[in-house]
Every structure is written in structure tokens, then in C-alpha cells.
Amino acid sequence: MAFGGFNQGGGQAPMSEINMVPLIDVMLVLLIVFMITAPLLTHGVKIDLPAASSAPNLEKPETVTLALDSEGRLFWNDQPLAEADLAARLAQAAAATPQPELHLRADRDTRYQKIAEVMSAARLAGVQKMGFITVPAQ
């Protein structure tokens, strides 16, 4: 059964024309949808934001390097530091404005317990920013 007209004539050739009416219907529906939704996308809510009352901090905080060697000895900015003085130095650094960043540099063979004790002491002293210094892989 070929597509075509209702004539029962001898020509049973298939219809070679494309019916454009459904395509036009779909395009008109899409056009209407976009015409309705486009104004909604550009419409925004007007909000009056408050102005900042303080200027951003332009000075960079200093960094403090706290090193631990393989025996667990402490070094504050490459100067030897007694373990008894660690809490006082950390509290002094935490009280500074702006607060310095604490860079913790530990030897590969340092016991993790010692590193955890130093990190805990820094947190108890109020140090907010702490990071580890490592050697980049080659």
C-alpha cells in the first residue's frame, strides 16, 4: 500500500513530497514558548545591597615557620625553641594582628604523635591558619 491520493488509477508511485504543515506547527509552538519565557529570564529582583563599612586588609600577614627535626626538636623561624616555650610563642603569634600563618615543616622521620601535639598546641593557642611545607615530587 503506497502513500498517495485516493485515486485507484494505474500510477502506484510513492509520494515524494514532504508535508510541511506539522513542521510549521512545531516551529510556531516553539516560537510562542520562547516569546513567553524570554522576558522572564531577563527579569530580576531589585535588591539594594548594603555597603561595606571596612576596607579589605591590604597588608599580607607574616609567616612563621615551625620546624620539627627527626628527634622532635623544635625550630621557630630556624631558631631553636624549647618545648616549654612553644605554647607561649604560639599564643603570642595568635594575638598578633593580622595573625601570622603557621607553616609546619616536619622531617620525614618525625613521629606523627609529635606533629599532632604541635598542631594541637597551635589550635589551643588560637592559631587560625596552619599549613604544611613539603618538598615537591620530582
Average pLDDT over residues 73-90: 93
pLDDT recorded at residue 5: 57
CA separation for the pair 75, 85 (Å, rounded): 11
Instruction: State mean pLDDT over 63-91.
Output: 93
Domains in the chain, CATH or no CATH each: 63-132 (3.30.420.270)
Residue among 78, 61, 57, 60 at smallest CA distance from 69: 78
Q: What are 1-24's pLDDT values in tens digits?
A: 555 556 555 567 777 788 889 999
The pairing of beta strand 130-132 with beta strand 101-106: parallel
Query: What tens digit of pLDDT does each residue of 104-117 get?
Result: 999 988 899 999 99
Q: Of 9 and 31, which is predicted with more confidence?
A: 31
